């Protein structure tokens, strides 16, 4: 079970969410996002988190040098690449910050997972280690945070769990649908931003609580089924 609450923008909200014990929180460094956070604030948020909650930096087409600088200034141990970064870009970033885990976001549509298969093959050829793949909904011209759900049945049928990195499901998840999403897709983890907000960038702590509780129960149910 791995639950990430993404788009944290201030220390007080980070502390309230930390009390609910997700496995990770996301800090969005993409300036065009309503959930973006500046580097100084992000560093303060990270310093306020208990050690058992992992901060994940979210980057969109920011280049190796800028991404590296933010990672080092904030002390991040995990970077999520959510833009058009190529396998060569990931190889360069891995070389620049070899101790940082890399998550690759992929926007899935009705065309399925074939593009991801080719991408991961090229990453392996370049000796890039991807620690997880985050599957979001494909909406043309947008890099994420759309509130649209990914095609769960397509992902469940085509994601090659035996050969590909652990699967994190994102895209349009809410307290009311996350249990169905987990039951259908059986991901390693889930990621939510807009589904626990009152408005873009503003988290509702009770909705976050409901999401974490619902997801936790769903993961437990799936684990029990797999053990039987």
Q: What is the rounded distance in angstroms from the CA atom of residue 168 to the CA atom of residue 108?
A: 12
Overall number of domains in the chain: 1
pLDDT tens string 61-111: 999 999 999 999 999 999 999 999 999 999 999 999 999 999 999 988 777
- Structural contact between residues 35 and 22, judged by C-beta atoms closer than 8 angstroms: no
In this structure, what are the phi and psi dihedrals at residue 16, rounded to the nearest 5 degrees? -65, -40
Residue 61, Ramachandran bin (φ over 0: left; ψ between -120 and 50: alpha; else beta): left
Tokens matching residue 201: 């960038």
CB neighbour list of residue 212: distance below 8 Å, 6 or more residues apart: 3, 5, 20, 21, 22
Q: What is the rounded distance in angstroms from the CA atom of residue 115 to the CA atom of residue 155?
A: 13
CATH code for the domain in which residue 199 is found: 3.20.20.70
pLDDT tens string 131-185: 999 999 865 655 555 667 889 999 999 999 999 999 999 999 999 999 999 999 9
Angle at 169 between CA 135 and CA 141, to 5 degrees: 40
Domain of 88 in residue numbering reads as 3-227
DSSP three-state, residue 100: coil
Q: pTM above the 0.75 mark?
A: yes
């Amino acid at each position: 079970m791995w639950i990430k609450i993404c788009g944290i923008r201030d220390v007080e909200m980070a502390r309230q969410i930390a009390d609910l014990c997700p496995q990770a929180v996301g800090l969005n460094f993409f300036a065009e996002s309503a959930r973006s956070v500046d580097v100084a604030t992000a560093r303060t948020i990270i310093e306020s988190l208990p050690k058992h909650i992992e901060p994940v930096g979210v980057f969109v087409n920011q280049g190796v040098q800028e991404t590296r600088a933010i990672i080092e200034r904030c002390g991040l141990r995990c970077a999520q690449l959510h833009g058009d970064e190529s396998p060569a870009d990931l190889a360069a970033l891995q070389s620049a910050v070899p101790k940082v885990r890399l998550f690759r976001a992929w926007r899935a549509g009705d065309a399925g997972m074939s593009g991801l298969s080719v991408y991961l093959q090229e990453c392996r050829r370049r000796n890039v280690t991807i620690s997880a793949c985050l599957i979001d909904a494909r909406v043309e011209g947008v890099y994420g945070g759309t509130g649209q759900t990914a095609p769960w049945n397509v992902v469940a049928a085509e994601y090659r769990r035996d050969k590909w990195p652990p699967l994190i499901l994102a895209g349009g998840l809410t307290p009311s649908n996350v249990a169905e999403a987990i039951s259908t897709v059986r991901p390693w983890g889930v990621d939510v931003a807009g589904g626990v907000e009152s408005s873009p960038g503003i988290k509702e702590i009770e909705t976050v609580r409901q999401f974490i509780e619902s997801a936790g129960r769903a993961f437990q149910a799936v684990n029990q089924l797999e053990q039987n």
